[in-house]
């Protein structure tokens, strides 16, 4: 992915991670990329992006240089953490979206309910968070960001659903004469319809269980 504004990781900068925000440069355990992360710097960068969006700056006009200037850090500080602004935006979305679910593994039905409940919670979050609503509304006008989000967030979640359906077929809880992707679409379709196509439709608690139980009734192996 190309870098924005001509910045490179080796560019000298006038702010180090601690000086920019007054935060320690110690990194939390499990940082995803090579260099340790400063929570203070990450928060300052995220706050800068949110502030610029709140001011009405379109995503396409948010350059790394402008974000760095607003956050009070150097461009190289940002590039040490993200390869470009698309990856930065995806991390920002992850920070405000509900976390990915941890499947209990006790039954395929239970795992499916957890997956669909996570989808329901994301739908509710998109309705109640002005940031999520703003960014997702602009994604269709910013295909590079959508491509990164699709690859790094949506596809792993989708694979989790497909793996759960496949496990249900192997355990005899779901008919094995059906296409796995088709079954996954049957399960996730009602939640996506109420989130995307009918954004005013109810996303009430208990919806995940109702969808799973209704669909599973037709997916059980035949005698």
pLDDT digits (tens, 9 = 90+) for 152-174: 999 999 999 999 999 999 999 99
CA angle 207, 155, 63 (to 5 degrees): 110
Tell me how far CA of residue 16 lies from CA of 64, 75, 85, in angstroms: 16, 11, 20
Q: How many CB atoms lie within 10 A of CB 155?
A: 11
Q: Mean pLDDT throughout 187-205? A: 92
Position with higher pLDDT, 24 vs 161: 161
Spatial separation of the C-alpha atoms in residues 155 and 147, rounded to whole Å = 10
- Structure tokens, 198: 């009918």
Position with higher pLDDT, 196 vs 11: 196
**Statement: residue 76 has pLDDT above 90:** yes
- Nearest partner of 165 among 186, 190, 183, 177, judged by Cα: 183
Spatial separation of the C-alpha atoms in residues 38 and 21, rounded to whole Å = 9
Spatial separation of the C-alpha atoms in residues 160 and 119, rounded to whole Å = 12
Q: Cα torsion for 85, 41, 71, 86, to the nearest 10°?
A: 10
Position with higher pLDDT, 5 vs 117: 117
**Statement: residue 33 has pLDDT above 90:** no
Confidence bin at 137 (pLDDT 50/70/90): confident
């Amino acid at each position: 992915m190309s870098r924005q504004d001509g910045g490179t990781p080796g560019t000298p900068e006038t702010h180090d991670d601690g000086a920019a925000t007054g935060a320690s440069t110690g990194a939390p355990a499990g940082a995803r990329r090579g260099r340790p992360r400063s929570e203070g710097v990450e928060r300052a960068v995220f706050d800068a992006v949110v502030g610029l969006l709140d001011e009405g700056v379109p995503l396409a006009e948010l350059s790394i240089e402008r974000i760095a200037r607003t956050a009070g850090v150097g461009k190289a500080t940002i590039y040490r953490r993200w390869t470009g602004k698309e990856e930065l935006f995806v991390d920002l979305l992850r920070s405000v979206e509900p976390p990915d679910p941890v499947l209990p593994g006790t039954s395929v039905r239970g795992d499916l309910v957890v997956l669909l409940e996570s989808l329901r919670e994301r739908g509710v979050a998109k309705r109640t968070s002005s940031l999520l609503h703003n960014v997702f509304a602009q994604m269709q006008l910013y295909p590079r960001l959508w491509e990164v989000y699709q690859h790094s967030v949506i596809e792993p979640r989708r694979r989790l659903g497909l793996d759960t359906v496949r496990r249900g077929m192997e355990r005899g809880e779901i008919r094995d004469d059906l296409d796995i992707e088709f079954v996954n679409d049957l399960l996730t379709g009602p939640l996506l319809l109420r989130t995307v196509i009918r954004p005013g439709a109810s996303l009430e608690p208990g919806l995940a269980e109702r969808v799973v139980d209704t669909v599973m009734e037709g997916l059980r192996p035949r005698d």
